[in-house]
Amino acid sequence: MIEITKKQLNRENLLNQGVTLLMEQGYHGTGLKEILDAVKIPKGSFYNYFGSKENFGAEVIQHYIEPFIWQLTGHLQQSEHDALGALQRYFTEGIAALEKADFKGGCLLGNLMGEIGGTSDLCQKSLQSALNRYRDLLQSGLAKAQQQGTVRTDKSAKEMADLLVNAWQGALLRMKIEKSAAPLRQCCQDLLGDFFKA
């Protein structure tokens, strides 16, 4: 059994709280004191964990994407013979979760791309890394679906994965202002249910 140290637990709590507050208030709207007070850690300790707010932001981005990578990987592994269906089920689950949350938050990556994407090199690199990891996983699922004959082959899996990420991020922004899952459903139906199909 792996023993988790207090330092690891504090770090995990800080990252979890970071995801929550950055999602609700944005990077600039969230103060370190607020994060530290929520997890009951003294301010001096924060710098032992992350060094700076910018480092913290970059790590929060990676922490945020991890469950999505894990969930998508699980779907693709469980549906070895129906990769397109696995992708559709993954996005359907995501839409249901966003509906349950009453369309609040959207995607932390999209939020931060708009807020700090061009102002912090460190966070910009972290956002690129997180998006590329996610895109690469979608690409592998689409490539598998191409091999299975369910997805068109006149476009590369990478091109389609990029289009899916771009369209999904735009749909998430529209979801927030419309308070509706309709843009998300349209994105998935138009791409996974139509345009990408063989």
- Compute mean pLDDT per 10 residues along the chain, 198 residues long, and list them: 74 94 92 89 85 94 96 92 96 95 87 87 95 97 97 98 97 93 97 96
Q: Where are the domains of the chain?
A: 6-195
What separation in angstroms does the CA of 186 have from each of 52, 67, 146, 191?
A: 40, 24, 22, 8
Burial of 127 (C-beta count, 10 Å sphere; 0-12/13-18/19+): buried
**pLDDT at residue 1, rounded to an integer:** 52
Quickly name the fold that domain 6-195 has.
Tetracycline Repressor; domain 2 (1.10.357)
What pLDDT does residue 192 have? 97
